[in-house]
């Protein structure tokens, strides 16, 4: 059941959208670049939050799936000579299928088992990227055809905004539908959900597929924007950045993860002179947020500002608990 | 053939050290029912603590290993008290995710702090004993032999501790059922701390022992950390004998995998992939591993 939006919220969203649209005219090229990259991270953090926070499937494979999207789009364009947008769309299929496959294989795994499985997947995938250098150019990095010719920071920015918007609409549609309730029920108590007649297998595969497709799309965009892909995308620190963004924002809310990602990334770019110390703080922030504010720092703010929902999440909580 | 033998011998030495680290990880899992994703940085800290104990305090290497373990025991308990206690109450709804995220945060914090404090450059820890043992065509350095012997000794001590002492029995009782242990008068919380402390000390001991064989760096724990995960899954999560067998098996599989992989110039690049593949297959085919109990979770 879609929650009805109050006029106030709609007005707020409209102002936000307008600000995002005029932003390029006011910002320097550097800030625009940083913002575009932060939107790439926002796609990753929100799709990871859908999987890990919303459906409770903690995966370390997210960056590997983003890299899969990036590399397959780059190689597809390189070998077929088709236009880049075609490659990007085609390349979303591979991470989506792979993600769905992981979801299917991991149906019986939960918590630490799933985390370990996906971590091993990421390790293997990174080693393949390094070892198969005939195709991937290994650690040297694969040069990727640009999406737009010449200096086109504005175009890249708008494209990233479009992709983020489309991904959020798709994910939000899932979350707002009955499936969203089923996913929350699976997160709270999978056995109880199953006992209540929720087809847990189907929805777990579904959420893995969608979240991986968004990750793949983000990866494909990143490759064609930055122009080079290296196996470093799959490293643990990079995955840690995604986890930090989602956890600090609020792992159970897509919007909070988006804001968390943009704030964390831009802050970390602005504080570049502090070098590694930024990541020390990020680690500390993960631990402290988790310890003292498990809903994240942004999500409670959104709750307060946003419309009063008719207790949909609580209803499911109660249902899952009473069924346990 | 000699190359294969040498790889196997080295595989067993390194496997023993990985087994030691994994034994710590599995002990934590068996008692607290969590996987510590920060285990690898505790291993790394062990290496650096031993190094500084030798360089700054002038301790002899074997004592430095013990000192590093003691320090990590204390650090482990401090982390457990500060960040894991919410797991024992109903304050946290999804304990699995909480534990993964908070220990992963520990990983990020300590690894980056190490880069700041210790610097990104490799350090080599002083040798236990220079030279090498020659066995026919095989040559194994004394450092490797001593590290393997040290790891074996610590594993034997851990085994004796778990099977022959009251404290070990209590830990086993808590690992089997927290509630049943509480009913007979055991305070589980105290033993969560002790288990996490011992687990951290074992990681530190492994890192301190490997120091003279490989070089020290802030990221030195990353790959062994993944290996520790592989080992505990292979041996069965929560099983200490399983972690020993799993460690040896992993060392052997990676050593032989490299020696026998059909494309020689890629074999080395894939050495860690063989183990990771082992983890994936174990979870798919036999999630309880070689010696594991049925799936266990935090209650």
Q: At what angle do helices A7-26 and A153-176 cross, to 10 degrees?
A: 160
B92 touches chain A (CB under 8 A): yes
Residue range A75-110, pLDDT digits in tens = 988 888 888 888 888 889 999 999 999 989 888 887
Report the gap between the CA of A16 and the closest CA in chain B (Å). Answer: 31
Within 8 A of B92 by CB-CB distance, chain A residues are: 294
Q: From the list B86, B276, B287, which residue is nearest A124 (CB)?
A: B276
% of chain A with per-residue pLDDT over 90: 28
Average pLDDT for residues B158-164, to the nearest whole number? 91
The token pair that represents B75 in the structure block:
């650090």
What is the Cα–Cα distance from B261 to B270, expressed in whole angstroms?
Answer: 9
B110 touches chain A (CB under 8 A): yes
pLDDT tops 70 at residue B186: yes
A275 contacts B269? CB cut-off 8 A: no
Within 8 A of A188 by CB-CB distance, chain B residues are: 93
Q: From the list A115, A130, A279, which residue is nearest B100 (CB)?
A: A115
> Is-contact A3 A312, C-beta < 8 A?
yes
Chain B nearest-CA residue for A52: B97
A280 contacts B105? CB cut-off 8 A: no
Report the gap between the CA of A135 and the closest CA in chain B (Å). Answer: 14
pLDDT tops 80 at residue B44: yes
Tokens 């879609």 -> residue? A2
Phi, psi (deg, nearest 5) at residue A319:
-60, -45
Average pLDDT for residues A182-210, to the nearest whole number? 83
Please tell me the predicted confidence (pLDDT) of residue A104: 92
Nearest to A121 by CA among A137, A139, A109, A136: A109
Within a 10 A sphere around the Cβ of A145, how many other Cβ atoms? 16
pLDDT tops 90 at residue B264: no
pLDDT tops 50 at residue B26: yes
- Residue burial B261-296, b: 16+ Cβ < 10 Å; e: rest: beeeebbebbbbbbbbbbbbebbeeebbbbbbeeeb
> Is-contact A139 A234, C-beta < 8 A?
no
Which range (A130-134, B5-9, B76-80, B222-226) has the least confidence? Answer: B5-9
Which range (A73-82, A145-154, B190-199) has the least confidence? Answer: A145-154
pLDDT tops 50 at residue A311: no
Chain A nearest-CA residue for B231: A116
A105 contacts B266? CB cut-off 8 A: no
What is the Cα–Cα distance from A79 to A308, expressed in whole angstroms?
Answer: 52
Within 8 A of A232 by CB-CB distance, chain B residues are: none
Q: Return residues 188-217 of B near A (CB < 8 Å).
A: none
What is the Cα–Cα distance from B4 to B2, expressed in whole angstroms?
Answer: 5
The better pLDDT of the pair B10, B56 is held by B56
Please tell me the predicted confidence (pLDDT) of residue A306: 64
Please tell me the predicted confidence (pLDDT) of residue B294: 55
B270 contacts A276? CB cut-off 8 A: no
Chain A nearest-CA residue for B268: A131
The better pLDDT of the pair A316, A94 is held by A94
Q: Mutation test of the interface with chain A: which of B105, B115, B117, B283, choosing the one with the most A Cβ atoms within 10 A?
A: B105
The better pLDDT of the pair B132, B196 is held by B196
B93 contacts A124? CB cut-off 8 A: no
DSSP code of residue A82: -
Q: From the list A52, A124, A240, which residue is nearest B108 (CB)?
A: A240
> Is-contact B269 A131, C-beta < 8 A?
yes
A189 touches chain B (CB under 8 A): no
Q: From the list A58, A124, A285, which residue is nearest B100 (CB)?
A: A58
pLDDT tops 70 at residue B299: no
B280 contacts A124? CB cut-off 8 A: yes
Chain B nearest-CA residue for A293: B92
Chain B nearest-CA residue for A281: B109
B96 contacts A280? CB cut-off 8 A: no
Q: How confident is the model at residue A284 (pLDDT cuts 50, 70, 90)?
A: very high
Chain length of chain A: 324
Please tell me the predicted confidence (pLDDT) of residue A191: 81
Within 8 A of B110 by CB-CB distance, chain A residues are: 283
Q: From the list B105, B113, B273, which residue is nearest A127 (CB)?
A: B273
> Is-contact A219 A233, C-beta < 8 A?
yes
Residue range B68-77, pLDDT digits in tens = 999 999 999 9
Average pLDDT for residues B266-293, to the nearest whole number? 82
ipTM confidence score? 0.88
Average pLDDT for residues B274-289, to the nearest whole number? 85
Torsion-angle region of A81 (φ positive above 0: left; ψ -120 to 50: alpha; else: beta)? left
Please tell me the predicted confidence (pLDDT) of residue A211: 94
B83 touches chain A (CB under 8 A): yes
Q: Return residues 51-70 of A near B (CB < 8 Å).
A: 52, 56, 58
Please tell me the predicted confidence (pLDDT) of residue B293: 66
Please tell me the predicted confidence (pLDDT) of residue B287: 79
B226 contacts A119? CB cut-off 8 A: yes
The better pLDDT of the pair A4, B102 is held by B102
Q: What pTM value is reported for the model?
A: 0.88
Q: How confident is the model at residue A181 (pLDDT cuts 50, 70, 90)?
A: confident
Q: DSSP of B237-262, one letter per residue? A: TT-HHHHHHHHHHHHHHHHHHHHH-S
Q: How confident is the model at residue A323 (pLDDT cuts 50, 70, 90)?
A: very low
Nearest to A219 by CA among A208, A233, A235: A233
């Amino acid at each position: 059941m879609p929650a009805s939006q109050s006029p106030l919220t709609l007005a707020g969203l409209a102002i936000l959208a307008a600000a995002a649209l005029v932003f390029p005219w006011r910002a320097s090229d550097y800030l625009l670049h940083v913002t575009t990259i932060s939107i790439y991270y926002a796609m990753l953090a929100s799709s990871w939050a859908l999987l890990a926070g919303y459906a409770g499937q903690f995966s370390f494979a997210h960056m590997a799936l983003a890299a899969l999207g990036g590399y397959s789009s780059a190689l597809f364009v390189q070998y077929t000579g088709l236009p880049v947008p075609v490659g990007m769309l085609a390349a979303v299929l591979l991470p989506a299928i792979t993600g769905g496959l992981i979801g299917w294989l991991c149906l019986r795994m939960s918590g630490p088992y799933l985390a370990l499985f996906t971590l091993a997947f990421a390790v293997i995938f990174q080693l393949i990227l390094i070892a198969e250098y005939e195709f991937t150019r290994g650690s040297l990095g694969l040069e990727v055809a640009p999406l737009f010719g010449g200096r086109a920071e504005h175009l890249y920015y708008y494209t990233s905004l479009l992709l983020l918007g489309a991904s959020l609409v798709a994910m939000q549609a899932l979350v707002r539908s009955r499936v969203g309730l089923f996913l929350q029920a699976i997160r709270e108590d999978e056995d109880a959900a199953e006992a209540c007649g929720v087809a847990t297998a189907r929805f777990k595969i579904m959420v893995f597929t969608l979240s991986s497709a968004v990750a793949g799309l983000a990866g494909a965009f990143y490759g064609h924007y930055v122009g080079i892909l290296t196996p470093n995308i799959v490293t643990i620190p990079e995955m840690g950045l995604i986890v930090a963004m989602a956890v600090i924002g609020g792992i159970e809310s897509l919007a909070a993860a988006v804001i968390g990602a943009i704030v964390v990334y831009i802050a970390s770019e602005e504080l570049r002179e502090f070098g590694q110390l930024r990541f020390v703080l990020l680690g500390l922030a993960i631990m402290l947020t988790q310890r003292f504010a498990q809903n994240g720092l942004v999500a409670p703010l959104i709750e307060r500002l946003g419309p009063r929902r008719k207790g949909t999440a609580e209803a499911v909580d109660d249902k899952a608990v009473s069924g346990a | 053939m000699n190359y294969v033998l040498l790889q196997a011998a080295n595989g067993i030495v390194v496997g023993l050290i990985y087994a030691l680290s994994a034994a710590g990880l599995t002990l934590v899992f068996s008692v607290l029912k969590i996987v510590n994703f920060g285990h690898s940085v505790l291993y790394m800290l062990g290496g650096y603590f031993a190094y500084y104990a030798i360089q700054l305090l002038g301790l002899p290497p074997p004592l430095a290993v013990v000192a590093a373990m003691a320090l990590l025991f204390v650090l482990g308990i401090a982390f457990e008290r500060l960040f894991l206690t919410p797991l024992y109450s109903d304050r946290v709804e999804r304990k699995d995710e909480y534990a993964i995220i908070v220990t992963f945060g520990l990983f990020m914090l300590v690894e980056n702090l190490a880069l700041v404090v210790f610097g990104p450059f490799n350090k080599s820890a002083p040798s236990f004993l220079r030279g090498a043992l020659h066995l026919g065509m095989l040559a194994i350095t004394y450092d490797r032999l001593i590290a393997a012997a040290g790891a074996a000794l610590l594993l034997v001590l851990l085994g004796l501790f778990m099977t022959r002492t009251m404290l070990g029995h209590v830990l086993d009782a808590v690992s089997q059922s927290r509630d049943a242990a509480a009913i007979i008068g055991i305070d589980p919380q105290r033993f969560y701390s002790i288990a996490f402390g011992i687990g951290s000390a074992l990681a530190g001991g492994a890192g301190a022992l490997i120091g003279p064989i490989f070089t020290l760096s802030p990221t030195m724990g990353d790959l062994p950390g993944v290996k520790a995960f592989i080992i505990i899954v292979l041996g069965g999560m929560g099983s200490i004998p399983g972690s020993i067998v799993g460690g040896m098996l992993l060392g052997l599989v990676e050593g032989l995998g490299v020696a026998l992989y059909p494309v020689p110039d890629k074999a080395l690049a894939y050495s860690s992939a063989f183990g990771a593949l082992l983890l994936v297959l174990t979870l798919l085919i036999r999630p309880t591993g070689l010696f594991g109990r049925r799936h266990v979770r935090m209650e």
